[in-house]
Amino acid sequence: MSISSIKVKVLYFANVKEVAGIREEEFIISNPASSDLLLRRIQEVHPGIKDLLKTITISVNCRVILDDVLLKDADEVALLPPVAGG
Protein backbone atom coordinates (compact mmCIF):
# COMPACT_ATOMS: atom_id res chain seq x y z
CA MET A 1 0.00 0.00 0.00
CA SER A 2 1.46 3.36 -0.99
CA ILE A 3 1.21 6.62 0.93
CA SER A 4 -1.40 7.78 -1.56
CA SER A 5 -3.89 5.08 -0.52
CA ILE A 6 -5.67 3.98 2.63
CA LYS A 7 -7.24 0.72 3.79
CA VAL A 8 -10.80 0.89 5.14
CA LYS A 9 -12.76 -1.95 6.71
CA VAL A 10 -16.44 -2.18 5.73
CA LEU A 11 -18.98 -4.08 7.83
CA TYR A 12 -22.33 -5.21 6.39
CA PHE A 13 -25.40 -5.96 8.52
CA ALA A 14 -28.85 -7.52 7.95
CA ASN A 15 -30.19 -7.11 4.39
CA VAL A 16 -26.99 -5.37 3.24
CA LYS A 17 -25.01 -8.42 4.38
CA GLU A 18 -27.40 -10.67 2.45
CA VAL A 19 -26.95 -8.67 -0.75
CA ALA A 20 -23.16 -8.45 -0.39
CA GLY A 21 -22.91 -12.11 0.55
CA ILE A 22 -20.27 -11.35 3.19
CA ARG A 23 -20.11 -9.76 6.63
CA GLU A 24 -17.02 -7.61 6.11
CA GLU A 25 -14.30 -6.72 3.64
CA GLU A 26 -11.47 -4.25 3.18
CA PHE A 27 -11.13 -1.64 0.48
CA ILE A 28 -7.94 0.11 -0.54
CA ILE A 29 -8.87 3.53 -1.85
CA SER A 30 -7.01 6.67 -2.89
CA ASN A 31 -6.04 9.23 -0.29
CA PRO A 32 -7.68 11.63 0.35
CA ALA A 33 -10.84 9.55 0.26
CA SER A 34 -14.40 10.45 1.08
CA SER A 35 -17.23 8.28 2.32
CA ASP A 36 -19.04 8.99 -0.97
CA LEU A 37 -16.07 7.60 -2.93
CA LEU A 38 -16.11 4.48 -0.79
CA LEU A 39 -19.85 4.02 -1.32
CA ARG A 40 -19.34 4.23 -5.09
CA ARG A 41 -16.63 1.55 -4.86
CA ILE A 42 -18.89 -0.67 -2.76
CA GLN A 43 -21.65 -0.33 -5.38
CA GLU A 44 -19.20 -1.33 -8.12
CA VAL A 45 -18.37 -4.54 -6.26
CA HIS A 46 -21.93 -5.18 -4.99
CA PRO A 47 -24.39 -3.51 -7.43
CA GLY A 48 -27.44 -4.71 -5.47
CA ILE A 49 -26.52 -2.45 -2.57
CA LYS A 50 -27.40 0.66 -4.59
CA ASP A 51 -31.13 0.25 -3.94
CA LEU A 52 -30.51 -0.19 -0.20
CA LEU A 53 -28.51 3.03 0.21
CA LYS A 54 -31.73 5.05 0.48
CA THR A 55 -32.72 3.25 3.68
CA ILE A 56 -29.49 2.38 5.47
CA THR A 57 -27.49 4.31 8.04
CA ILE A 58 -23.74 4.71 7.59
CA SER A 59 -21.33 4.96 10.47
CA VAL A 60 -17.60 5.65 10.57
CA ASN A 61 -15.79 4.38 13.65
CA CYS A 62 -19.14 3.85 15.43
CA ARG A 63 -20.38 7.40 14.71
CA VAL A 64 -23.34 7.90 12.42
CA ILE A 65 -22.59 10.22 9.52
CA LEU A 66 -25.20 12.29 7.71
CA ASP A 67 -22.95 13.89 5.09
CA ASP A 68 -19.83 13.02 3.13
CA VAL A 69 -16.76 12.78 5.39
CA LEU A 70 -13.05 12.28 4.79
CA LEU A 71 -11.81 8.82 5.66
CA LYS A 72 -8.49 7.91 7.23
CA ASP A 73 -6.40 4.77 7.09
CA ALA A 74 -7.85 1.96 9.25
CA ASP A 75 -11.29 3.56 9.57
CA GLU A 76 -14.20 1.17 10.07
CA VAL A 77 -17.34 1.90 8.06
CA ALA A 78 -20.60 0.09 8.82
CA LEU A 79 -23.70 -0.12 6.63
CA LEU A 80 -26.61 -0.53 9.04
CA PRO A 81 -30.25 -1.40 8.35
CA PRO A 82 -33.08 0.88 9.41
CA VAL A 83 -34.07 0.45 13.04
CA ALA A 84 -37.69 -0.18 13.92
CA GLY A 85 -39.22 0.14 17.33
CA GLY A 86 -41.90 -2.00 18.77
Q: What is the DSSP string of 30-68?
A: ESSEEHHHHHHHHHHH-GGGGGGGGT-EEEETTEEESS-
Mention the CATH class of domain 5-80. Answer: alpha beta
Q: What are phi and psi of 58, to 5 degrees?
A: -115, 135
In the chain, the amino acid numbered 31 is N
| pTM for the structure as a whole | 0.90
Spatial strand order of the sheet with 63-65 comes to: 24-30, 5-12, 76-80, 57-60, 63-65
pLDDT in tens, 13-66: 999 999 999 999 999 999 999 999 999 999 999 999 999 988 999 999 999 999
DSSP 5: E
